[in-house]
Structure 1
Amino acid sequence: MHAVVLHEFGPADNLTYEIVPDPVPGPGQLRIAVKAAGVHHVETVMRQGTPGVMTPPVPDLPFIFGGEVAGVVESVGPDVDPAWIGRNVVVARSEPGGYAELTVAPAQNVHPIPDSLDYAAAVTMVITGNTALGLLHAAQPTPDDVVLVTSAAGGIGRLVVQYLRDLGATVIGAAGGPEKVAAVRALGVDAVDYNEPGWADDIHGVTLVLDGVGGDKAKQAYDRIVDHGRYVTIGNASQQQFAQDNPKVTSIDALGLMIASPADFDFEAEAIAAAGAGTLVPAFQSFPLAEAAAAHAALESRATTGKVVLIP
């Protein structure tokens, strides 16, 4: 099969498209013909070989990235019901990673894809949708909240904005550049360009910040929070820290909570069902599997909108 393999840590171009042996499903596993594979910002950091803020350990090389895949069950291992064969499924834990034409995964972890959902949308929801719902679970927003969402044009951000809008909260989405700002406004909320100087100066009364950026942009958002408000973080795309120096603001590390108590933050099925029902509409940007290096480069430069997905 074809796969994208990292043999040496470094820039995006170190990802090579090559032929590797087909994986063999073991006991309790399915083999999936991959139709869509998700890409994460954290994978771009891991690819460089230098652990950053809120980043898992670097992998052993050679390595195939991609935790989540959507596709068709092609075969099954021992002790797995052959009725799975031919079904459309999505899973968050595939082995090896999803940057490949084939992967295997534990049968107990897969979810059937609703008929109304395509592969790219399904793969967007299984981790990104789960993470968005986990972030919201940690934040506990109410209709009375004034919420500032950073990276609002990203895969998580757009889902969070939709949820908050439908909840009835006042939502301000912050994104970088006119196109991304327009994409956020198209969701029916106010939007600002956080690449512009003084972007947060006219924002007032914020009771909740949902942040995935970190660094200076997060600091400017944090400084808009009123006393007894909340700052909730799910990531740090900038890989930069800032001083959270207001003792009257509650800071919540949603990602840390998800890692510490994964059973309390398992919203995979709920996220997939919400997309299938049209309650949450995932946004994604697709690249051919062979162009995984370009996908990484675009994600690193913040040139993408929505979830980044690879299509074999």
Structure 2
Amino acid sequence: MHAVRLHAFGPAENLRHEQVEDPRPGPGQVRITVEAAGVHYLDTLLRTGLEGHPAAPAALPSIPGREVAGTVDAVGDGTDHDWLGKRVVAHLGMAPGGYAELAVTDATRLHEVPATIDAAEAVAMIGTGRTVMGIVQFTELGPDDVVIVSAAAGGIGTLLVQYAKNAGATVIALAGGPSKAARALANGADLALDYRRPEWVEQARDHLGDTRATVVFDAVGGDIARQAVDLLGKGGRHLVYGGFGDDVTFTADELIERGITSETVVGPAMIEKAGGNIRALEERSLTEAATGRLRPAVQRFPLADAAGAHRALETRGTVGKVVLVP
């Protein structure tokens, strides 16, 4: 098979598309003919040699990638043969191997792909979608809410805009650049603003009038996050799920004075909130896509151009979930 392997930590050019031996499924495992493989921003950090993360490769060369969708073409000993020929999607956990034409994983990680979505969309929902389902655990949205979504043209932001609109909320989308803001508006946002322009705050205030925001979904951090939080009213919530800029923290006194809360809603907090049942978040995510309530934005790259996908992610040149197609 062909796969993309990392031979040395460093720039994206260290990712090589090459011929390697086909993997074989072990006991309790299946092999998937990959139709789409997810690329995550974390992959770019691991490529440079990020230490201490549980997903860091134990040795090089290594095949990155932890999200795949395709068709089961082989099963290992003790695995239910009914999986053969089924369209499936799986998050591989901390075991890499997704950037390839064939990938092996435990059968317990599999979900059947709903007939109404394709492989790339399934990959988006098994990773990005499950994160969104984890984030929205922390707030009950309704028609009285005014929601600010930063990085609204990204994979998570796109789905958060849709989720909030489905709940009846008013949505102000923030995106980096006019084309991304236009995408957020087309995605259903009531107002979409380019946060690179200094007048965005005043535009948001004009739109709000006497109303105040109730929730800020923060993936950007830095000054943009602080300005967004300034738009919150009493009882408002600052929910942090990323931070491409500086981390934004508030002292207990600041939070009391403002009458708001601020918390990180990914990582251990998300897992704890879900009662450790990450699979339930994946199932809910796929169901939301299958019914059409959530529609992931996907940007496809050829498997052979994994390096280009990494460069695009690192320069914020992508829209939606980045997926490699063999």
TM-score category of the 2 structures, normalised to the smaller one = over 0.9
Deviation at 1:284, TM superposition (A): 0.2
Residue 242 of structure 1: which of 245, 248, 270 is its match? 248
- What amino acid maps onto 2:307 in structure 1? A
Note closer, same or farther for the CA distance 1:97–1:220 as it changes in structure 2 (3 Å cut): farther
> Take 1:31 and 1:76, find their aligned partners in 2: how far apart are those partners?
6
Quick one: percent identity of the two aligned structures? 48
Kindly tell me the number of residue pairs found equivalent between the two proteins.
309
> Take 2:20 and 2:242, find their aligned partners in 1: how far apart are those partners?
33
2:269 maps to 1:269: no
SS in 2 for 1:5: strand
> Take 1:84 and 1:180, find their aligned partners in 2: how far apart are those partners?
40
Deviation at 1:49, TM superposition (A): 1.7
2:282 maps to 1:283: no
2:258 maps to 1:258: no
> Take 1:100 and 1:19, find their aligned partners in 2: how far apart are those partners?
10
> Take 1:243 and 1:115, find their aligned partners in 2: how far apart are those partners?
43
- Let me know the Cα RMSD of the aligned residues: 1.9
> Take 1:140 and 1:264, find their aligned partners in 2: how far apart are those partners?
19
Structure-2 residue corresponding to 1:178: 178
> Take 1:51 and 1:193, find their aligned partners in 2: how far apart are those partners?
35
Deviation at 1:259, TM superposition (A): 4.0
CA distances 1:91-132 after superposition (whole Å, capped 9, x unpaired): 011654211111111111100011111111111101111111
- What amino acid maps onto 1:255 in structure 2? V
Structure-2 residue corresponding to 1:149: 149
Note closer, same or farther for the CA distance 1:56–1:252 as it changes in structure 2 (3 Å cut): farther
Structure 2 contact 147–214 (Cα < 8 Å) conserved: yes
Structure-2 residue corresponding to 1:294: 308
Structure 2 contact 55–96 (Cα < 8 Å) conserved: no
> Take 1:137 and 1:167, find their aligned partners in 2: how far apart are those partners?
13
- What amino acid maps onto 1:299 in structure 2? L
The 5-angstrom pairing of residues 117-156 of structure 1 reads 117-156=117-156
> Take 1:287 and 1:60, find their aligned partners in 2: how far apart are those partners?
26
Structure-2 residue corresponding to 1:224: 231
The 5-angstrom pairing of residues 1-312 of structure 1 reads 1-50=1-50, 58-62=56-60, 63-93=62-92, 95-189=95-189, 190-204=191-205, 205-238=212-245, 240-245=246-251, 246-247=254-255, 248-256=259-267, 257-260=269-272, 263-265=276-278, 266-312=280-326
Structure-1 residue corresponding to 2:209: none
Q: Which runs of 5+ in 1 are unaligned?
A: none
Worse overlay, 94-103 or 143-152: 94-103
Q: Which runs of 5+ in 2 are unaligned?
A: 206-211
Note closer, same or farther for the CA distance 1:165–1:44 as it changes in structure 2 (3 Å cut): same
> Take 2:55 and 2:114, find their aligned partners in 1: how far apart are those partners?
34
Worse overlay, 97-106 or 243-252: 243-252
Deviation at 1:219, TM superposition (A): 2.4
- What amino acid maps onto 1:65 in structure 2? P
> Take 1:13 and 1:105, find their aligned partners in 2: how far apart are those partners?
27
Structure 1 contact 64–98 (Cα < 8 Å) conserved: yes
Deviation at 1:260, TM superposition (A): 4.2
TM-score, with normalisation over the residues of structure 2? 0.89
Structure 1 contact 219–243 (Cα < 8 Å) conserved: no
Note closer, same or farther for the CA distance 1:47–1:201 as it changes in structure 2 (3 Å cut): farther
Structure 1 contact 231–249 (Cα < 8 Å) conserved: yes
